[in-house]
Structure 1
Amino acid sequence: MDPTFFLYLGAWLKVLGVLCLPLFAVPLVTLAFPGLIDRFAKRMIAFLDVLSGGALGLAIASALILVLAQLAVVILRYAFGLSFTWLSEIVIYAFAAMFMLGSAAALRDDAHVRVDILRPRFGEAGRNWIELVGTYLFLFPICLRLITNGEQGLTRSWSLLEGSRESDGLPILFLFKTLVPVFAVLLMTAGLSVALKAALRLTGKLPPAATPIEGETGGGHDGV
């Protein structure tokens, strides 16, 4: 396949990314000018959460494939003495897809493991500030780094339609490598939703988070 096609595709994706950059300023505008774009911000949250939910559905499907493929590997190996590289690669790919596609929904639902030392000491406003600042200072830069760091290698992989290094492996290694930027983009969308919710809570346009903090009465866990 002509590699220039993927170069053009990458260029258009960059343009699309640049056009989407102003959306990442919406939480800051919402915070600076309460009431100005609250309705738009809430619509963004709904759309971004649906996007994370769609990715979660794919992650659940990947988990099912993982279980079935691993079961097949065990039965074939120990009952019939058979082993297939392509089947083992399905297990690897399904596990990676489950993790990378499900991470955005976990961030959206505050289900990631976190070690909170100072956060439980702050009030509701302090926790929302932590979510907002942390998203901009840590999550977004790391995701951008993931997207840009492997750009050339991913383009080459797609231009070659890179497959397994094993003769009986799956010819979809290029799709497997694509999971990395997809993971980063999904995390950025989920992080944008988190930032929007924090900004709206700080301006009183959303009720306080229902997720309680460890160490506080009346609540369950937000940190472990």
Structure 2
Amino acid sequence: MNRTADRLDMVNRLVGSIVRWAALIMVLTQFAIVLLRYVFSISFVAVNESVLYLHSALFMLGAGYTLLVDGHVRVDIFYAKANARWQAAIDLFGHVFLLIPSMSLLLYWSWPSVRNAWAILEGPISVGGIPASFLLKSLIPAFCVLLLIQSLACLMRNIARLQERQS
């Protein structure tokens, strides 16, 4: 089971290693926007929108990697003081009853909007912006799928951890 979880982890490790560059590109783009606007009095809507696209990609595609490295916010009222078995049980509950159902519902309810955006190749958010809103909307199902993949990997590890303690 751990070997399968490791294979699932590889998906988010790969995506995380690529998406992390969005942070640097986003900062450099924002710096260029400020420089162009306040030094040269030039502004481009598409360049401004690119920061929104990069920010969205960074957080939506990086969520699975963040779960992989246990970087999400956790309420540690009970969890911090619990032993490894209880932590695994709490994580198992969270994945089965909270994360997997919510990501499945979000995927289900967002899919028609994403499909329609692709069908018409939905254009820019603003006049003169990036003519690819359909790509921005596609981040929603990608977010859901990456979190579901990572949740399955975490679920397998928690089940294995619970089985280890019982034997």
Shorter-chain TM-score range: over 0.9
Please say if 1:136 is aligned against 2:96. Answer: yes
Partner of 1:179: 139
* Alpha-carbon distance between aligned partners in 2 of 1:165 and 1:123, rounded to the nearest angstrom: 49
Could you state the TM-score of these two structures normalised by the residue count of structure 2? 0.94
* Alpha-carbon distance between aligned partners in 2 of 1:134 and 1:53, rounded to the nearest angstrom: 22
Partner of 2:50: 90
Residue 120 of structure 1: CA displacement?
2.2
More helix by share: 2
Residues 58 and 101, structure 1, Cα contact 8 Å, conserved in 2: no
* Alpha-carbon distance between aligned partners in 1 of 2:74 and 2:91, rounded to the nearest angstrom: 12
Amino acid at match of 2:94: G
Moved over 6 A (4+): none
Amino acid at match of 2:99: L
Please say if 1:112 is aligned against 2:86. Answer: no
* Alpha-carbon distance between aligned partners in 2 of 1:122 and 1:109, rounded to the nearest angstrom: 20
For these two proteins, the number of residue pairs brought into alignment is 165
Residues 85 and 166, structure 1, Cα contact 8 Å, conserved in 2: yes
State the Cα RMSD in Å.
1.3
Partner of 1:52: 12
* Alpha-carbon distance between aligned partners in 2 of 1:178 and 1:193, rounded to the nearest angstrom: 23
Q: Sequence identity, in percent? A: 35
Could you state the TM-score of these two structures normalised by the residue count of structure 1? 0.71
Residue 93 of structure 1: CA displacement?
0.5
* Alpha-carbon distance between aligned partners in 2 of 1:150 and 1:54, rounded to the nearest angstrom: 25
* Alpha-carbon distance between aligned partners in 2 of 1:58 and 1:115, rounded to the nearest angstrom: 29
Residues 49 and 190, structure 1, Cα contact 8 Å, conserved in 2: yes
Partner of 1:75: 35
Residue 57 of structure 1: CA displacement?
1.8
Q: 1:134 to 1:166 in 2, by over 3 A?
A: closer
Of the structure 1 ranges 73-82 and 146-155, higher mean CA displacement relative to structure 2 is found in: 146-155
Query: Gaps spanning 5+ residues in structure 2: where?
Result: none
Query: Aligned match of 1:100 in 48, 54, 60?
Result: 60
Match of 1:169, SS state, is coil
Match of 1:204, SS state, is helix
Amino acid at match of 1:80: F
Partner of 1:203: 163
Larger relative contact order, structure 1 or 2 (CA cutoff 8 Å, min sep 6): 2
Amino acid at match of 1:109: V
Match of 1:179, SS state, is helix
Query: Gaps spanning 5+ residues in structure 1: where?
Result: 1-40, 206-224
Match of 1:122, SS state, is coil
